[in-house]
Structure 1
Amino acid sequence: MKIALLAKKKVGLVDGSCKRESVAEGLRSQWDRCNALVLSWILNTVSQDLSAGIVFASNAAMVWADLKERFNKVDGSRIYYLHREIVTHTQNLSSISVYFSRLKLLWDDFDALVPFNSCECEIARENSSILAQQRLFQMLMGLNDSYTMVRSQILLMKPLPTINQAYNMLVQEEGQRQHSVNSVQVQNEPTALYTSSYSQSHNQYKKKFNGICDFCHIKGHKKENCYRLIGYSPDFKFTKKGGINVKQSANSATAENGAEAVMQSEAKQAPTFTAEQYQQILNLLGKDPVVKGAAHMAGSLQWRDEEDW
């Protein structure tokens, strides 16, 4: 409010330096108009609860003095709150600019309540340098852990940079990271588009193919993709089609092929002898030659016209 009054050259109407009695008779009407203008600014600035108490006031200087007496006081609880907000303020999900702007606002509010010594002596300049260094550390402490490398680079600089210089370095680092993320996303987009287009074209090809397999004579696939020829994968899901269980058919075909393979294997492994070799073996064992076509009978034997033993 005070800055706006300074810009309009109306501060004298609120600080008491420009009173109505000190103005010439011919200029008092202009003074009244300027006083009403300042009063309207004050009414539009304060809250509705406060405006109800000053709406009937006629002197801007009196209203200003009343507000200053009620609210322009250094409160210990307010200073404590601001100091706690400054110490605990962190970046979290905010950008560097938003984080620094919020911290700068807290510093300005704290300086308004606890004004720093404005002396131009050497000691005052040293104290001002120490305060700026402490605030630089506060800003670096609130950064996310992803800025640890940049924080270390700033702290290793001699002399230490100012707050604005450190802020500029952090903004540049943030911009480079954002550029890197965007570059990676742009590089990944063609791959994703190619994969999607290939999958769509492959599925479309599978849907459009209506040929008949030359091996199993089943519609819907080619010979080089026939599972009966190349074998079924472990995760293949069998379905029924035309009342025939494909899984059972596949199992039957597998069983038949397996039985044939076993029979062929046994036939290959069975020893073969000539008639002379077989007769020699029987002579060695002391057996009579076996007549071809003899039947092997199982069970108990009974002789005709003989009693049981």
Structure 2
Amino acid sequence: MSGGDNLEPNLSLQLANMLKNGINPQPQNPKFYDNLQINLKLNSQNYALWTRMIRVAIGGKPWALLSHLTSDPPSQEKESYEQWEQEDLIVFSWLIQNIESTIAGSLTEYPTAKMLWDALVVTYSSGRDKLQTFNLHVKANDIKQNDSTLEEFWITLQGVSGEIERIDPNPMKCPDDIKTYARISSEQKLFQFLNALNQKYESIKREILRLEPLPSAEAAYATIRKEAAHQNILGTTNHTQGIRAGLVATETGGMGLATKGYRRSEGKKNGSMIKKDKTNLKCDHCGMSKHTKEQCFRLVGYPE
């Protein structure tokens, strides 16, 4: 990168002092006094999650510093260069602070945040490596709920699914093909989710699979989570016998539980027969009341 040799001695010295003191450099502008810490540090196993979290963290700051990961520095002759250099040191320090110390020690040679970021991409991102894609699919298929809560299981499955989508995105170009591919992928994700659920959700899984069109995995999860909450409240792990749980798809693809009404049978109630009110019926054939033409004995015959 042009200008890199001129930047390196000065930046290396400042970086060395920063690491020695264990704090961020503190330029005159007080807006840079904040540290930036995320919940995990980069290691050889978590690059995909780490890079997403660190981008969100930097992009969430109230200053436009995310460009330091993607854009080259301005010319040193420009008046804005000094301010840019201060900002770049801050972004560089944020990256270093969120990398495991065993790795960070070998990364101090990079003169700018972008060069460090690009080096991490080359080192840890395998792009669309098919072996990694295969391993992720195997991992996703091996996920089972088991002793995990529904929420914990869903988060785990979402993490793997999201990583698969990131490294193996929709390859279609035609709008119709994009839509078809997305539908197929959505169905596969739904099947994977339902298959990994515990046995106690079998009845509601069958109801979901009867829907046409099939809902998304997200909508199915929302419905099952609601049903699980109902089960916890009622202290049961199965649907009450006689109640049919129906799943109603909304226009937005969401889902909700609906209870299909009972169809009352004509039988005994409180020891007596339930009789229909026939006072308003009148036969079109004989003109008599309390029956219809279809029930008229003169046409259908008298009982023996």
TM-score bracket, normalised by the shorter chain, equals 0.5 to 0.7
Q: Deviations over 1:97-149 (max 9, x none)?
A: 11111100110111222222374611111100110011001101011111110
Q: Give runs of ≥4 in structure 1 deviating > 6 Å.
A: none
Match status 1:167 vs 2:221 = yes
What secondary structure sits across from 1:166 in the alignment? helix
- Which of 63, 71, 75 lines up with 2:124 in the alignment? 71
Amino acid of the structure 2 residue aligned with 1:34: E
Amino acid of the structure 2 residue aligned with 1:20: P
- Which of 51, 56, 81 lines up with 1:3 in the alignment? 56
Instruction: Specify the alignment match of 1:15 in structure 2.
Output: 70
The alignment's TM-score, normalised by the length of structure 1, stands at 0.54
Distance 1:78 1:39, change over 3 A: same
What secondary structure sits across from 1:117 in the alignment? coil
Match status 1:93 vs 2:147 = yes
Deviation at 1:86, TM superposition (A): 0.6
Deviation at 1:77, TM superposition (A): 3.6
Instruction: Specify the alignment match of 2:162 in structure 1.
Output: 108
Q: Deviations over 1:131-176 (max 9, x none)?
A: 0011001101011111110011101112212222211111121111
Alignment of 1:173-188 (within 5 A): 173-181=227-235
Instruction: Specify the alignment match of 1:45 in structure 2.
Output: 98
Instruction: Specify the alignment match of 2:255 in structure 1.
Output: none
Deviation at 1:24, TM superposition (A): 6.1
What secondary structure sits across from 1:26 in the alignment? coil
More RCO (CA 8 Å, sep 6+): 2
Q: Deviations over 1:60-101 (max 9, x none)?
A: 122122222222223444322211111111111222211111
Aligned partners of 2:170 and 2:181 also within 8 Å:
no
Alignment of 1:249-260 (within 5 A): none
Q: Deviations over 1:266-286 (max 9, x none)?
A: xxxxxxxxxxxxxxxxxxxxx
Q: Distance in 2 between matches of 1:141 and 1:121?
A: 30
Q: Distance in 2 between matches of 1:118 and 1:31?
A: 40
Amino acid of the structure 1 residue aligned with 2:195: M
Range with bigger deviation, 126-135 or 79-88: 79-88
Distance 1:36 1:118, change over 3 A: farther
Alignment of 1:225-304 (within 5 A): none
Amino acid of the structure 2 residue aligned with 1:37: I
Amino acid of the structure 1 residue aligned with 2:103: L
Q: Deviations over 1:216-235 (max 9, x none)?
A: xxxxxxxxxxxxxxxxxxxx
Instruction: Specify the alignment match of 2:273 in structure 1.
Output: none
Instruction: Specify the alignment match of 2:195 in structure 1.
Output: 141
More helix as a share of residues:
1
Alignment of 1:111-130 (within 5 A): 111-117=165-171, 119=173, 121-130=175-184
The alignment's TM-score, normalised by the length of structure 2, stands at 0.55
RMSD value, Cα = 2.1
Amino acid of the structure 2 residue aligned with 1:48: S
Q: Distance in 2 between matches of 1:76 and 1:160?
A: 29
Distance 1:159 1:76, change over 3 A: closer
Instruction: Specify the alignment match of 2:114 in structure 1.
Output: 61
For structure 2, the residue ranges without an aligned partner over 5 or more in a row are: 1-53, 237-304
What secondary structure sits across from 2:169 in the alignment? coil
Amino acid of the structure 2 residue aligned with 1:157: L
Q: Distance in 1 between matches of 2:142 and 2:109?
A: 44
Aligned partners of 2:170 and 2:178 also within 8 Å:
no
Q: Distance in 2 between matches of 1:59 and 1:155?
A: 53
Amino acid of the structure 2 residue aligned with 1:60: A
Q: Distance in 2 between matches of 1:118 and 1:11?
A: 30
Alignment of 1:22-41 (within 5 A): 25-41=78-94
